[in-house]
Structure 1
Amino acid sequence: MTTRIERLVQQLDDSTGPSYDARAALIDIGPNAVPALVDALPSLGGFGQLTARTASPIPTRTGKSTGPRPGSTWSKSPAPGPY
């Protein structure tokens, strides 16, 4: 049986709307999504891997998190308009 998190992770490879919606949902789920994201990384294509990295607090080689900071809304709001 596929869990909701696994279904969302599988959608990350789609470079159209579903991947962005899945990314937002995984960010909302938070740390509980990390094991499924890590397990899926080898099976995802390039776009899916990049999307997975931005949807989780998986540390980079520098030790810094690539995911949003707690309380951050950068992934939930539209980009600011031109100044």
Structure 2
Amino acid sequence: MNAPQHLLRQAALAQKVTEVGKEKANGVPRVHYRGTLGRDALTLRAASDFRTKLDQPFGPTNNAPITAHVWVEAGAG
């Protein structure tokens, strides 16, 4: 399992981020966002041989088809 700090760094690299909508989780208002994670986000902290292996199916163009979802407490920030 990844450390929360690492997951937040990956989320910060998301591309094509859109707001999905407002929701409540455990009674707390949240804003739901969706974006895609490219090669840079997926290979953050990864060894160079893993990055090379990832290039084989996806290519080095940073276009891996991985969707990420993030919920942020409404009004946070």
Do the structures match in fold with TM over 0.5? no
The structure having more radius of gyration, on CA atoms, is 2
| TM-score, with length taken from structure 1 | 0.28
Structure with greater proportional helix content: 1
Which fold has the larger relative contact order, with Cα–Cα distance below 8 Å and residues 6 or more apart in sequence? Answer: 2
TM-score normalized by the length of structure 2: 0.30
Larger strand proportion, structure 1 or 2?
2
